[in-house]
């Protein structure tokens, strides 16, 4: 039975059997005409998927949805993905070449560094596509990264540290000395300081 549409409240839904598979869902529209077109497209895509494989019909928004079902990105990463999805619109994943993806990074970040393009476009785009490839929904993709300028950070000297300790508050002085002596990161030193403070309070 081909897909038919029916109304549930104000929104149109579809249901029916296509190529032996039972399909049903919402068209997310209140327009009967648009709902009929959506149902027809879903029926066509399901036939094509059965005949040619999922890679022929997988769009980038669908790939994003599959990826997000398995991963919970940070708010920052979610913003990156949203911008990438808006850029590609309904493009099929099979049509997204490595060169086109590199160009998308340039288009989205024309004045930014290679590191920013890699972090905010290349890495998440490749992760989304290759996650779907692991599920056999499309082919894997390899994308050449942009060159990143490695900035060598100049370490502080003992003289600089001595000057800081003269003027800094005790907690800042303790953090600076700890980081200088152990080469730990700020969050590590800060965490250690917090645990020490809590321990002292508990003993008192």
Q: Give the start-to-end residue ranges of the domains of the chain.
A: 4-52, 60-134, 158-203
Cα separation, 20 vs 26, whole angstroms: 20
pTM of the model: 0.58
Output the tens digit of pLDDT for each of the chain's 204 residues: 578 889 999 999 988 887 667 778 888 899 999 999 888 887 877 767 666 666 778 899 999 999 999 999 999 999 999 999 999 998 999 999 999 999 999 999 999 999 999 999 999 999 999 999 999 899 999 999 999 877 777 788 889 888 988 988 988 888 888 888 887 877 777 765 555 444 444 444
Instruction: Tell me the HSE value of 2 on the side-chain side, using a 13 A CA sphere.
Output: 7
Conformation bin of residue 19: beta by default, left when phi > 0, alpha when psi is -120 to 50:
left
């Amino acid at each position: 039975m081909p897909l038919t549409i029916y109304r549930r409240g104000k929104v149109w839904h579809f249901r029916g059997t296509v190529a032996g598979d039972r399909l049903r869902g919402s068209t997310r529209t209140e327009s009967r005409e648009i709902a009929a077109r959506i149902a027809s497209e879903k029926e066509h895509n399901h036939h094509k998927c059965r005949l040619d494989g999922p890679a022929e019909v997988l769009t980038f928004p669908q790939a994003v949805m599959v990826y997000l079902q398995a991963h919970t990105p940070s708010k920052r990463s979610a913003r990156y993905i949203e911008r990438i999805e808006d850029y590609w619109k309904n493009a099929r994943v099979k049509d997204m070449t490595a060169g086109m993806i590199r160009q998308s990074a340039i288009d989205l970040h024309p004045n930014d560094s290679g590191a920013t393009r890699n972090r905010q476009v290349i890495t998440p785009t490749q992760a989304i596509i290759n996650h779907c490839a692991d599920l056999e929904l499309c082919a894997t993709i390899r994308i050449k990264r942009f060159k990143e300028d490695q900035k060598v950070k100049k370490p502080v000297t003992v003289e600089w540290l001595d000057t800081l300790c003269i003027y800094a508050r005790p907690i800042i002085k303790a953090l600076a000395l700890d980081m200088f002596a152990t080469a730990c990161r700020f969050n590590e030193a800060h965490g250690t300081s917090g645990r020490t403070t809590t321990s002292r309070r508990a003993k008192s």
